[in-house]
């Protein structure tokens, strides 16, 4: 099998290159994002492998089909960036549904602890021998209420961590899990009751802008918000308004609505045109990271392994256990 890897960085080769060799796959890595302009590179390949900020819309799916590409291998869990309906019956879409929920949950907690206790800013101060702690007063998490939106794999890992801090957990999920020792409430109740809110649901038509002017209005003053799921779960403009109104004590974002083309790249010498992103980075109580919740040795190894297993299953005609289909998802 010949696979074209789009949007790659040196760390992508770390696991994929040796593992692909073991499978006997011919792989080619390019740095370019997968989009209309770079799609032609897929000609002559059996599959393309893409990441969170690549996209394949209906027209691109048709072109891939004409080129003879048989599969889109998503080296991630989310699949909001591909047109599943357009691909049905033409191109297989295979993803990595489960690699290390702990990696993302632990990172969510890291964001929460950092924005709460300002360790990132303290680091900068002490390196400059400014040992003043003004402005760094945080909040105990002990016995506070944490609201978890989405109690799938990552949400559950997050709940385990939050319970370690002896927090009370309320959760919202349209498909509650009766095996979980949490109190399920409506989304509105979760917004009202929570001292911290952590988002762990996928981006769908139902969840787009789940955090908006109305839901922010329901939140407690001094709430903490963490999003490691997908940027568009939050209406950025409403978030900025909430920050200006001092609604939030702290906000940790590993994802951002308009992250495509900015995240994962070094834009330090450029003029940033996205005014919302510039505004967000200006708040002292907002921490933005570049979609790196998944970035541990264990998670990246599992991503490479499962992505290549998906390709191997396709090559061998085995059941495609990780296929994304419109009627199933
Ligand atoms: P999962 O499928 O195991 O769980 C998602 C949960 O969300 C399910 O329980 C589902 O019922 C629930 N859900 C669906 N619609 C909902 C709604 N309207 N409101 C509330 N909950 C809803 O997925 P997961 O593995 O836990 O991953 C969650 C998300 O995390 C992914 O969709 C992806 O966007 C994101 N993610 C981010 C990173 C990162 O590096 N930051 C890495 C992996 C995954």
For 171-219, the pLDDT digits (tens) are 999 999 999 999 999 999 999 999 999 999 999 999 999 999 999 999 9
Ligand 1 geometric centre to CA of 6 (Å): 24
Quick: pLDDT tens for 76-119: 998 999 999 999 999 999 999 999 999 999 999 999 999 999 99
The answer, yes or no, to whether any atom of ligand 1 lies below 6 A from the CB of 173, is: yes
> What b-and-e string marks burial along 234-265, b requiring 16 or more CB atoms within 10 Å of the CB?
bbbebbbebbeeebbbbbbbbbbbebbebbbe
Note if 291 is an active site residue.
yes
Quick one: pLDDT band at residue 329, thresholds 50, 70, 90? very low
Which residue has its alpha carbon closest to ligand 1 atom 35? 229
Quick: pLDDT tens for 134-178: 999 999 999 999 999 999 999 999 999 999 999 999 999 999 999
Ligand 1 geometric centre to CA of 98 (Å): 11
Q: What average pLDDT does the segment 309-326 reach?
A: 97
The pLDDT score that the predictor gives to residue 67 is 97
CA distance 153 to 74: 18
Mutation to probe ligand 1, out of 202, 205, 291 (largest number of atoms < 8 A from CB) = 202
- What proportion of the chain, given as a percentage, has pLDDT over 90? 98
Ligand 1 geometric centre to CA of 322 (Å): 16
CA distance 245 to 145: 22
- Specify the ligand 1 atom closest to the Cα of 76: 43
- Specify the ligand 1 atom closest to the Cα of 255: 41
- Specify the ligand 1 atom closest to the Cα of 230: 34
DSSP β-bridge partners for residue 148: 171, 198
The residues, ordered by sequence, that sit 6+ positions from 286 with a Cβ below 8 Å of its Cβ are: 115, 243, 250, 251, 252, 253, 280
CB atoms within 10 A of CB 78: 16
Q: What is the separation of C-alpha 97 from the centre of its chain, rounded to a whole number of angstroms?
A: 12
The answer, yes or no, to whether any atom of ligand 1 lies below 6 A from the CB of 215, is: no
Q: Are residues 184 and 129 in contact, defined by beta-carbon separation less than 8 angstroms?
A: no
Quick: pLDDT tens for 276-304: 999 999 999 999 999 999 999 999 999 99
Q: What average pLDDT does the segment 5-25 reach?
A: 96
Closest C-alpha to 25, from 48, 57, 7, 6: 48
The pLDDT score that the predictor gives to residue 328 is 47
Q: Is the predicted pLDDT of residue 247 greater than 90, yes or no?
A: yes
From the candidates 92, 200, 230, 257, give the one annotated as an active-site residue: 230
- Specify the ligand 1 atom closest to the Cα of 157: 26
What DSSP string runs through 102-123? HHHHHHHHHHHHHHHH-HHHHH
From the candidates 200, 259, 301, 309, give the one annotated as an active-site residue: 259
CA distance 294 to 107: 8
Q: Is the predicted pLDDT of residue 2 greater than 80, yes or no?
A: yes
The pLDDT score that the predictor gives to residue 327 is 67
Which residue has its alpha carbon closest to ligand 1 atom 8? 152
The answer, yes or no, to whether any atom of ligand 1 lies below 6 A from the CB of 206, is: yes
Between the alpha carbon of residue 285 and those of residues 90, 143, 222, 243, the distances in Å are 47, 22, 11, 9
From the candidates 291, 309, 315, 328, give the one annotated as an active-site residue: 291
Which residue has its alpha carbon closest to ligand 1 atom 27? 154
The pLDDT score that the predictor gives to residue 22 is 97
- Specify the ligand 1 atom closest to the Cα of 294: 40
Which secondary-structure segment (H or E) carries 248?
strand 248-253
The pLDDT score that the predictor gives to residue 20 is 98
> What b-and-e string marks burial along 7-36, b requiring 16 or more CB atoms within 10 Å of the CB?
bbeeebeebbeebbeeeebebebeeebbbe
Note if 188 is an active site residue.
no
The residues, ordered by sequence, that sit 6+ positions from 119 with a Cβ below 8 Å of its Cβ are: 113
The residues, ordered by sequence, that sit 6+ positions from 48 with a Cβ below 8 Å of its Cβ are: 3, 4, 5, 6, 34, 42, 56, 64, 69, 71, 72, 73
The pLDDT score that the predictor gives to residue 141 is 98
Q: How much is the mean pLDDT over the chain?
A: 97
CA distance 16 to 116: 37
The residues, ordered by sequence, that sit 6+ positions from 227 with a Cβ below 8 Å of its Cβ are: 198, 199, 211, 233, 234, 252, 253, 254, 255
- What proportion of the chain, given as a percentage, has pLDDT over 70? 99
The pLDDT score that the predictor gives to residue 45 is 98
């Amino acid at each position: 099998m010949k696979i074209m890897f789009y949007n790659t960085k040196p760390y992508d080769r770390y696991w994929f290159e040796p593992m692909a060799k073991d499978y006997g796959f011919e792989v080619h890595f390019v740095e370019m994002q997968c989009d209309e302009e770079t799609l032609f590179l897929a000609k002559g390949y059996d599959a393309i492998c893409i990441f969170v900020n690549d996209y394949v819309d209906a027209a691109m799916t048709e072109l891939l089909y004409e080129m003879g590409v048989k599969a889109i291998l998503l080296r991630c869990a989310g699949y909001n960036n591909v047109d599943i309906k357009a691909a049905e019956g033409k191109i297989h879409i295979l993803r990595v549904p489960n690699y290390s929920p702990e990696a993302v949950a632990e990172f969510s907690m890291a964001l929460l602890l950092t924005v709460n206790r300002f360790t990132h800013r303290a680091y900068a101060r002490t390196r400059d021998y400014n040992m003043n702690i003004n402005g760094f007063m945080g909040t105990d998490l002990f016995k506070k209420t944490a609201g978890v939106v989405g109690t799938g794999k990552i949400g559950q890992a997050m709940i385990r961590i939050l319970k370690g801090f002896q927090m009370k957990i309320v959760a919202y999920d349209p498909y509650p899990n009766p095996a979980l020792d949490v109190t399920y409430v409506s989304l509105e109740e979760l917004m009202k009751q929570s001292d911290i809110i952590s988002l762990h649901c996928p981006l769908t038509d139902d969840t787009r802008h789940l955090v908006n002017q109305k839901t922010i209005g329901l939140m407690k003053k001094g709430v903490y918000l963490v999003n490691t799921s997908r940027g568009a779960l939050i209406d950025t403009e409403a978030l900025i308004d909430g920050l200006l109104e001092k609604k939030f004590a702290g906000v940790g974002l590993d994802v951002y609505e308009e992250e495509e083309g900015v995240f994962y790249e070094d834009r330090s010498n450029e003029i940033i045109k996205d005014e919302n992103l510039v505004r967000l980075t200006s708040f002292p109580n907002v921490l933005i990271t570049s979609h790196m919740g998944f970035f541990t040795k264990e998670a990246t190894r599992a991503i490479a392994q499962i992505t290549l297993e998906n390709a191997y299953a396709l090559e061998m005609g085995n059941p495609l256990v990780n296929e994304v289909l419109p009627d199933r998802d």
